[in-house]
Amino acid sequence: MAETKKNSKISRLKIAPTIVPRNNHIISRTQISDNALKVLYRLKNAKYKAYLVGGAVRDILLGIKPKDFDVVTDAKPEQIRELFRNCRLIGRRFRLAHIQFGREIIEVSTFRTSHHISDDNDGHERDGRIIRDNVYGDIDDDVWRRDFTINALFYNINDFSVIDYVGGIKDLEAGQLRLIGDPTKRYIEDPVRMLRAIRFASKFDLKMHSSAEEPIKENSHLLENIPSGRLYEEILKLFLNGNAYKTLIELRRYNLFEYLFPQTNQVLTQNERGYAHEFIKHALKNTDQRVKEGQTVNPGFLLAAILWGPIRIMIEEYSSNGHSDIEATRLAGDTIISKQISSTSIPRRFTHMARDIWVLQARLKRIKRKSLRILAHPRFRAAYDFLLLRAQSGECMEELIEYWTKEQLKEPHAGKNKMKTRRDRNSSKRFNRNSRTKDL
């Protein structure tokens, strides 16, 4: 009986896709990286199915240059490894292949089934979260495990068509973000999808479909159960994609920000028009500008800025208890960071950078004393930029800004050469390589 019910449900989902032939869409091979093409062709030549999928197809259709390329195939991980010498299998719950070409990694996954379509509880915890996700399938199984319709389009290297099972192309044309399947269930299965919804809506200026939007507020608390490391990866994607300020507003509107930065959220909520709000607005807009100009943004600087609201209040508290400015800043920094890392982990190199920037704020107050030593500090430039943001946000510090601007003009290389320590350089390389969230 159960068998028949399950079969009938699955056969209902064996629907025919819309196939958009090569001449009716704008994806051309010139927009796909040579390495991704190499992977697709090698799989095809070995008689496997191979598709470009996910963000890259979506981005090209939106006229945006993709930042990375994901491939999906019917070849099993071991079969993929046999084809590529530069291949590493990763992932415990689900094996994926990473094919490495210099700094570019092409992620190749094997078609797999989703659980949200089945009637039994296999693979789910009692609360609906996915715990097991390792059953191989075909393209028409794989499509249902994906999150949004616009992320479930397949570009077929065999005939260059785009395969659409879920109305993703129509949604892209209509500028609409829609989940595949029942939105509440899909958010419960993986609450990070709520953050992804906000990210895609903000980044691509899409309107969330009401069914995608409505369940978010009542399920936002589910983020509490997400490992802090995964949330850290998500905050980088949320705030380093060139739309950080808009993303902040949306995250707050849907009660999600409080699970990422509870202390900052509290300060913002206490006074919606206050200094903390002005500061974070300037900091995030400045970050967006840098991203758009192709400049780097150090996550340590970003975190220092997002946490500045609560830090500043705590520094005042410690100072009023008799601590010196520098001591008060160190103590406040320790307290705020140790609370923050219970929500989102932060690699130590970035908490160090944030602390340095905060402590330098106190040191920069002391005009004319030890200024040369401060100019040589590897974080001077970051701390000076931070000081400028504070001034732009309404803190009265004209004299200080004037002084340090003049001082650093006398020393044009202040902080700059030493700004990136070897550890920073290595870590930013590592960040670029490893910053990809494993999909579910």
193 in contact with ligand ATP (CB under 6 A): yes
190 in contact with ligand ATP (CB under 6 A): yes
52 in contact with ligand ATP (CB under 6 A): no
The residue number with the shortest CB distance to Mg ion is 55
Task: Decide which of Mg ion, ligand ATP, none touches 74; Cβ closer than 5 to 8 Å per partner kind.
Answer: none
Q: Where are the beta strands (DSSP E) in 120-198?
A: 153-156, 162-164, 176-177
C-alpha to C-alpha distance for 118 and 249, rounded to whole angstroms? 36
233 in contact with ligand ATP (CB under 6 A): no
Strand 87-90, strand 207-208: pairing: unpaired
Stretch that binds ligand ATP, among 190-198, 245-253, 319-327, 418-426 (CB under 6 A): 190-198
DSSP label at residue 105:
E
Q: Name the residue nearer to ligand ATP (CB basis): 56 or 359.
A: 56
Q: Name the residue nearer to Mg ion (CB basis): 70 or 258.
A: 70
Task: Decide which of Mg ion, ligand ATP, none touches 141; Cβ closer than 5 to 8 Å per partner kind.
Answer: none
Token pair in block for residue 242: 């060139």
Residue written as token pair 């340095």: 356
192 in contact with ligand ATP (CB under 6 A): yes
C-alpha to C-alpha distance for 43 and 40, rounded to whole angstroms? 5
Q: How far is the CB of 269 from Mg ion (least distance, A)?
A: 33
C-alpha to C-alpha distance for 300 and 297, rounded to whole angstroms? 9
The residue type found at 134 is: N
C-alpha to C-alpha distance for 176 and 172, rounded to whole angstroms? 6
Per-residue binding letters, 190-209, with Mg ion (x by CB under 5 A): --------------------
Q: Where are the beta strands (DSSP E) in 168-324?
A: 176-177, 207-208
Q: Name the residue nearer to ligand ATP (CB basis): 338 or 437.
A: 437
Choose, by CB under 6 A, the member of 117, 315, 359, 440 that binds ligand ATP: 440
C-alpha to C-alpha distance for 173 and 220, rounded to whole angstroms? 29
Token pair in block for residue 129: 């979260």
Task: Decide which of Mg ion, ligand ATP, none touches 198; Cβ closer than 5 to 8 Å per partner kind.
Answer: none
DSSP label at residue 369:
S
Q: How far is the CB of 98 from Mg ion (least distance, A)?
A: 13
407 in contact with ligand ATP (CB under 6 A): no
Task: Decide which of Mg ion, ligand ATP, none touches 77; Cβ closer than 5 to 8 Å per partner kind.
Answer: none
Task: Decide which of ligand ATP, Mg ion, none touches 164; Cβ closer than 5 to 8 Å per partner kind.
Answer: none
C-alpha to C-alpha distance for 123 and 136, rounded to whole angstroms? 13
Contacts of 127 (CB under 8 A, 6+ apart): 188
Asked if residues 52 and 69 have their Cβ atoms less than 8 Å apart, the reply is yes
Choose, by CB under 6 A, the member of 74, 141, 142, 147 that binds ligand ATP: 147
Q: Give the C-alpha distances (Å, rounded to integers) separating 62 from 58, 282, 368.
A: 6, 29, 53
Q: Is 250 helix (H, G, I), strand (E, B) or coil?
A: helix
Nearest to 32 by CA among 160, 142, 150, 163: 160
Choose, by CB under 6 A, the member of 151, 161, 371, 427 that binds ligand ATP: 151
The residue number with the shortest CB distance to ligand ATP is 55
437 in contact with ligand ATP (CB under 6 A): yes
C-alpha to C-alpha distance for 256 and 223, rounded to whole angstroms? 8
Catalytic annotation, residues: 68, 70, 147
Q: Name the residue nearer to ligand ATP (CB basis): 69 or 318.
A: 69
Site for Mg ion in 38-77 (CB under 5 A): 55, 68
Task: Decide which of Mg ion, ligand ATP, none touches 190; Cβ closer than 5 to 8 Å per partner kind.
Answer: ligand ATP
Nearest to 345 by CA among 424, 248, 260: 260
Site for Mg ion in 354-393 (CB under 5 A): none
Q: Name the residue nearer to Mg ion (CB basis): 59 or 189.
A: 59
User: Can you give the binding site for ligand ATP, defined by CB under 6 A?
Assistant: 54-55, 68, 70, 146-147, 151-152, 190, 192-193, 237, 436-437, 439-440
Residues found near Mg ion in the complex (CB under 5 A): 55, 68
